[in-house]
Structures are given as C-alpha cells and as structure tokens.
Amino acid sequence: MSSSTNLGGWVNKAGVWSSSERRDWFADDAETILHWREKPTGRHIEPGIAEVNLVSLLGELGATWSRWGEPLLPIGVLYDPFVERALEPWSYGIYTGGQSVLVGTPSGVSLAPEGGAHQSIKTPSIGLEQPGCVTYEPAFAIDTEWTLLASLGRLGRPDGTSAYLRLSTRPVDQGLAEVPSDPAARERRRRQAVAGAYTLRRTREPKATIAAMGAVVPEALAAAARLEQLGVPADVVCVTSPDLLYRAVRARQGHEEAEPWILDQAFPAHRATPLVTVLDGHPHTLSFLATINRVPTTALGVTRFGQSGSLEDVYRHHGLDEDGIVRAALDATG
C-alpha cells in the first residue's frame, strides 16, 4: 500500500516501525527509491493490504488522549475505494472516541487506466454522512496543506473529531489556485478553504455559477472560460468540504450548531444564479448547494461503474469534461 499511495517520501524520512531493528536487504541497491528501514524508532506502520486492520489501529492510536492523557496524531492512508471495506470498524472507532485522519487516495474515475474496481463513486457521501468526522476533498496542494493542518488540530481533544481526506493523484496545474499574495487576502482564502469553499473565479455580472470539487476543478475553470466567450459569464466556486457546507446549511435552518458565515462568502445571495455542481463522485453529494439560494441546478458526477481508458475519454463518458459542464450551464440558464 505504501508505494501505490505514494508514501515513499514519508517512509524514507520516518522509517518503518518494528519491535526490533531488521536488516534492509536492499540497502546496497542504488536504484531503490523506497528504503524500507525497519526499527523501533520508525513512525510508519505497515498493515499491508488489510484495511480493517488499518482503521482498527487508527481507532486505538486515536484514543490515547482519553485513555492515557497522551494524544497522538494518527494518519492512515489507503486506496479510496477500499474505504468501504473498512467502514464498520472505522465508524466504530470514531464512535468510541478514536480520533484520527483517514486519507483515501487515489479516488474516483480520475484513476482512469485502472478500471472500475479501483474507481470510487460513493465515498464522498460516506465522508459527508459519517458522524464525528469532518471530510475534505481539496483540489490544490495548498488547500490540502491547510485542511490537513486543520484536521490535525481537531485531534486529541474532548471536543475533537476525526477527518477524512479524499485525494487524487491526478496532476493539477497549481497556478490555477491563484493564491493571493497579500497576507490578509491569503488568510481569508485559508479560512474559507478550511470552512468548506471559496470563490476561485469571479465575473462582473454572472449568469451561472459552477461549484466544483477536487480533481475536476480544472475542467470547471476551462468551461467557465468558454462560457465567457459564449456570453454566459460564470463564477467558479471551489468546494473543499461538502460536509461543512451541509452543516452550515443546517445551522442556518436551526438544525445544527455550526457557523453559516461561509455560505454568505462562497454563495452570496446577491450573486445567486443557476448552479452547476461537478465532482468526481456521486452527483448528489453537492446537489444540496442549490438550496442555499434556491436556484435552478444541474448536478454532474458519476452514477455508473467506472471504465478503463484515458482520463479525457473517461471524463467524457461520465459528462465531467469541459463540454459536459458547458452544456449543463447552457441548459440551466436557457
């Protein structure tokens, strides 16, 4: 699991935990990229392809704050579609006070060449609906840093929570994030990213809004650029946490204790337009966003088993490509 989830850098730096030091039989191989050094001071624990063992360990490590007064910051990494294999013990561990961070990567049909067996569809809903857990699906590296740090900050406390980060290995142009250079504006972006969403592209007089999450944000930006040429200027909102946005909606309705301020900043009422939501997962995950300002909406996502192919072909097959988003926006505003 360590190599397939791209943990080589962490393993090389932290070492692999073992009750006693073991000989590295490949230490003299200059071409070895992953160095498997097993020793008592190692910080990486390798359960192998055994997801239930992994989340059971996370539950135990995540409960040390209440049992022994020594909080740990356990992070578990597994292939995102296999979250479903470990769902019951993961949920039970959270229920009994185990606070940890679970990272599912790679995720979605963005893992195009590996076919349907490795392409997760329902996991965004799992993260959104799991009690005692905050879920994030960031699109950019800086958002991943901010949300991971926020998740770690919630661990090991009486009022703490676990976190689930759904990530992708798809290469994304980091320049698209357009992170503000002004310190105040940068801090505002950070607060919004941690709270669930921020405006990534803002037009003068929008006729449509595209709310995109995770790996498909580049397609949303490309679609907005083409819509501009077609006379349908569109704002683009980058969603980082459908979970926190849904809690904010429920708080506004008086059903939950949460801060709804993020809704006013990411989806201000005076800029309300027909909405297109898009993610690499089941479309109902973001469909509730239309209730914020009660606007017409089209929800794009994945509702069928995955297919093997190029990323472009697979996105086109599921309607997640630039053309699919443009069509949806034109239909919503027509």
Please indicate, yes or no, whether residues 238 and 107 belong to a single structural domain of this protein.
Answer: no
Containing domain of residue 212, as a range? 186-333
Same domain, yes or no: 280 and 218: yes
Q: Are residues 108 and 213 in the same domain?
A: no
Asked if residue 229 is part of any domain, the answer here is yes
What's the CA gap between 98 and 111, in Å, rounded? Answer: 30
Return left, alpha or beta for 100; rule: phi > 0 is left, psi -120 to 50 is alpha, else beta: beta
Does the structure show a pLDDT above 80 at 29?
Answer: no
Region of residue 321 (left: phi > 0; alpha: psi -120 to 50; beta: else): beta
Residues with Cβ < 8 Å from 61, sequence gap 6 or more? 72, 74, 98, 100
Structure tokens at 54: 């992994």
CATH number at residue 266: 3.40.50.920
Within 10 angstroms of residue 204's Cβ, the number of other Cβ atoms is 5
Q: Does residue 274 come out as left (phi exceeding 0), alpha (psi in the -120 to 50 range) or beta? A: beta
Q: In terms of domains, do 244 and 138 share one?
A: no
pLDDT tens track for 287-314: 999 999 999 999 999 999 878 899 999 9
Kindly give, in sequence order, each residue whose CB lies less than 8 Å from that of residue 287, ignoring residues fewer than 6 positions away: 277, 297, 299
Q: In DSSP terms, which residues pair with 211 in a beta bridge? A: 237, 277
Rg (CA), the chain: 21
Same-domain check for residues 191 and 162: no
If asked whether residues 46 and 162 sit together in one domain, one would say yes
Does residue 108 register a pLDDT over 90?
yes
User: What percent of the chain shows pLDDT beyond 90?
Assistant: 77
- 204 pLDDT more than 90: yes
